[in-house]
Amino acid sequence: MNYEGKALTIAGSDSGGGAGIQADLKTFQAFNCFGMSVVTSVTSQNTQGVRSIHDISPDIVGDQIDMIMEDMGTDAAKTGMVSNKDIIEVIIDKVKKYRIEKLVVDPVMVAKSGARLLREDAESALIAGLLPVAFLITPNVFEAEIISGMEIMGIEDAQESAKIIQGNGARFVLLKGGHLSGEKAIDLLFDGEEYTYYEAERVATENTHGTGCTLSAAITAGLSKGMSIHDAVKVAKDYITRAIRNAPGNIGKGHGPLYHNIEPLKISAFEEAAADFDRWFSQNQVVFESELLTEKHFLSNPNNSVSIGVGDGLFASRLGIEHGVEPAKEMAKLAEKRGIKVKIGVAEEVPFEDERFDTVLLSTILSYVDDPQKAVREAYRILKPNGHIVVSFLAREGSYAMMYDLAYLRGKHDPETAPPNPYPLKFIKGTHWHSTREVSNLLKEAGFVDLKYVQTLTKHPRYTNNGIEEPIEGYEKGDYIVVQGRKP
C-alpha cells in the first residue's frame, strides 16, 4: 500500500497531544497521507492550559524545511504556530525557494479566550509576508478582524472581511464562522469572485482542543491528495465535525482533544475528475454502442424521459432525453452543455414532483447509490401510471464485473485478461455489482410489473427474452443487462 499524498506541518509542538503538530500528524494519518513536521516552538501544555513556550532557533526551523524538501518533498504544507518575526521570514524564504504552491496558513493569532498570541511585529510579518505566498488562509472571526481591520458581527461582515483578506495576497480565504451566532456553524470560502458556504451542526461539548489545527491539517491533507480546494474544504469540514462529535470524554481535566481516528468523507471521482471522464468516455463511445442500443430499445418516449445519474450527458443526449438528475455538479455542467436540463440531486431523493415522466432511466446508477431500493421507489414515484423504468447494469454474475473487481484489487488492469479501453479504475471504486435476480427483486418490491430484459456482450437465455446484440469486438467476456418494468 502507498500513501496518497505527502503533507508537511510547520507548527508548534503540544506536549498534551491535542493540538499543534501532534494533531496535524494524526489528521494526516487519518487521510492516509505521509506526514512530516517542522517544529517552530515547544510548548509545555495540557488540556487545562499552557505553562511555558520555547521558540526554536530560526536557523533550525530552516534546516528542518531544507532536509524535508531536499529529500522527500511535499504535495502540500500548512503553518500553525509561528510565534516570531524571524521564524516567519525563514518560512517565507523557504516557501519561495522550494516553490511550495499549496500552502495553508492557519494564522494562530488569537486564543479562544480572545487573548493575542503574537507580538505586533510577528502579526505584521504574517500579514505582509506570509499571506502573499499562501494558497489558503483559515482565520477565525477574531483573527479575520485583526487581518482585515474591521469588526465582524454577521455573515455580511464576514464576506467583506474575507474580500479584504483575499486582497492581501492569499489565493483563497476560508473564514471560520464558529464564533458567529446561529444554529449552525457556517464557514465561508472566498476565491476572489464567489463565496461558497459550508454548514455544519454545532456540537455541544467542552472537548474542542485543537479544532483549528485539525481543520487546516485536514484541508492540507486533501490538497496533498490532489483534491480541488472546494472538495478539500468540504471533506475537512465533515471530518472536523465528526472529530468533535466523537471527542473522547476521558482525556484530561480541561478542554479535551478531538477524536482523530475517523475515515474521511470520500469525494466521488465523478466530481473530482469530471473532465477526465468526459474525455475518456467521448473517445471510447464506440465501446458502449451496444449498451446505447439496448437502452434505446426500451425508450418509447425520450422527450418525456429523465435520466437519473445522467453523468456527462453523452448517452442521454444521443438517446434524445431532455431531463437529468446528477449529484456531481461538475458532471452536471458537462451534461448541460449537451442540452440536458439537469437538476442537482441523488437517486434516493429525486427533485421532481410525483407522476411526471413516461420513462425513468437508471443507467448503471444502482451500482453506485447507497440505497438501491429507495432509488427504485423514487423512480416509481415520479412515473406516470403505465410509465416505464429502464435499469441498465453490469451483472455481478458476469465475467465483465468480475474482471473489474480483480482490477480494483490489483490496482490496475491486466492487458492480457482485460479488453482494450477498460473503464478507468478511479470511476469503478465504490461500486456494488448487482445480480440480475437482485435487480429484478428491487423492481418487483417497488411495485413494477411486466419485467422485460435485453442483454448484450454475452448470452444468458435465463434472463433474456428479446433480441441479443452482438458484442463489440474484444468484449466477449462480459455482460450488460437492461431491464424494463411498468408502473401499473
Identify whether the C-beta of residue 140 lies closer than 8 Å to the C-beta of residue 212.
yes
Cα separation, 219 vs 230, in Å, equals 10
For residue 336, with 0-12 CB atoms within 10 Å meaning exposed, 13-18 middle and 19 or more buried, which class applies?
middle
Is 211 annotated as catalytic? yes
The grid coordinates of residue 171 equal 489565493
The H-or-E segment that residue 194 falls in is: none
Catalytic residue among 85, 102, 176, 237: 176
Q: Pull the grid cell for residue 112.
A: 479562544
Report d(CA 420, CA 149) in Å as an integer. Answer: 60
Grid cell, residue 454, equals: 435485453
* Beta carbons within 8 Å of 298's beta carbon, 6+ residues apart: 359, 388, 390, 452, 454, 482, 484
Residue type, 329: K
Give the torsion through C-alpha atoms of 113, 116, 117, 118, to 10 deg: 170
- CA distance linking residue 163 with residue 279, whole number of Å: 35
Annotation marks residue 176 as catalytic = yes
Q: What angle do CA 112, 115, 116 make, to 5 degrees?
A: 115
**DSSP state at residue 366:** G
Catalytic residue among 16, 102, 213, 222: 213
The two beta strands, 195-201 and 184-190, are antiparallel
Active-site residue (options: 27, 79, 138, 208): 208
Question: Looking at the DSSP assignment, which residues form a beta bridge with residue 46?
Answer: 49
Order of strands across the sheet that contains 357-363: 341-344, 323-326, 305-308, 357-363, 383-394, 480-486, 449-456
Q: CA-to-CA distance for 411 and 120, rounded, in angstroms?
A: 52
Of 9, 43, 211, 456, which one is the catalytic site residue? 211
> Within its chain, how far is the Cα of 424 from the centroid?
18
> Would you state the cell numbers that stand for residue 178, as one nine-digit string?
464558529
Say which of 17, 80, 212, 485 is annotated catalytic. Answer: 212
> Is 212 one of the annotated active-site residues of the chain?
yes
Helices (H) and strands (E) in the chain, counts: 16, 16
Given the residues 12, 129, 210, 485, select the one marked as catalytic: 210
398 noted as active-site residue: no
The whole-angstrom separation of Cα 259 and Cα 428 is: 31
DSSP secondary structure code for residue 300 in this structure: S
Positions marked active-site: 176, 208, 210-213
